[in-house]
Amino acid sequence: MTRTTASVLLVVVGLGCAEGEIGGPGEGEGDGVSFRLNGQAYALSGSPARDPGQLLNASFAVARADSVGGFAVIGYERTGDNVGNLIVLQAPREVKTFTCSPGSLPCHQVAAEWHGRYITGVQSLSTATALRYFHLASGTLTVTQVGPGRLRATFSAVFHATDGKPNDTLTVENGSIDVPYVSDQVTDGSLQCLLSLVGVIDGECRS
């Protein structure tokens, strides 16, 4: 996987949301990933389930090393039966401020310092059903700690969908990250299953 395919996933759609709508705020507290999306507050926290069949039924927020010298912040907030909020923020493994400036191409298609994708409506690990895909158009990620046991950062971002549907821009502000960090790459288990199905990494689900 190249850096240009690295992604951010922030799934914030409840089971009852109509197409293109964003679900209600998260209720998590304490360490994790928190942010304001179009003015509404969200929070993701907890440990991921090891079983892929249970991953979408519990909230979590962690950080793992990736295969290209960077890290991926991976978070999820359950909002219904096998549906919820997913976030993956990916950048080089450095303590610094990374930027992605608006341009003619989205950040995932250029050599930006960090990348993102926001996917709404992930509902099943068997089919990776998703409602809409939003790509990082611009934003800033300030990393203050990477390891040994925690990853801490702040971020803001604008995501844009290219499907031609209304409400194609999402604005994320006041983002804060304080999550457990594991230096091992995501190579197996429930996280690998989820990230491979939504197109962030190469891999497959194992029964």
pLDDT band at 78 (very low <50, low <70, confident <90, very high): confident
81, HSE (Cβ side, Cα atoms, 13 Å): 0
Q: Strand pairing partners for 98?
A: 141
Domain spans of the chain, in order of start: 3-197
Percent residues over pLDDT 90 in the chain: 24
Residue 197 dihedral angles phi and psi, to the nearest 5°: -70, -30
pTM over 0.85: no
The predicted-structure confidence for 20-56, as pLDDT tens digits, reads as follows 333 333 333 348 999 998 888 988 888 888 777 788 8
94, HSE (Cβ side, Cα atoms, 13 Å): 10
Say how far apart CA 146 and CA 129 lie, in whole Å.
32
Residue 196 dihedral angles phi and psi, to the nearest 5°: -70, -40
As given in the structure block, the two tokens for residue 32 are: 């994790």
The predicted-structure confidence for 108-160, as pLDDT tens digits, reads as follows 667 778 988 887 777 766 555 677 788 888 999 999 999 999 999 999 999 88
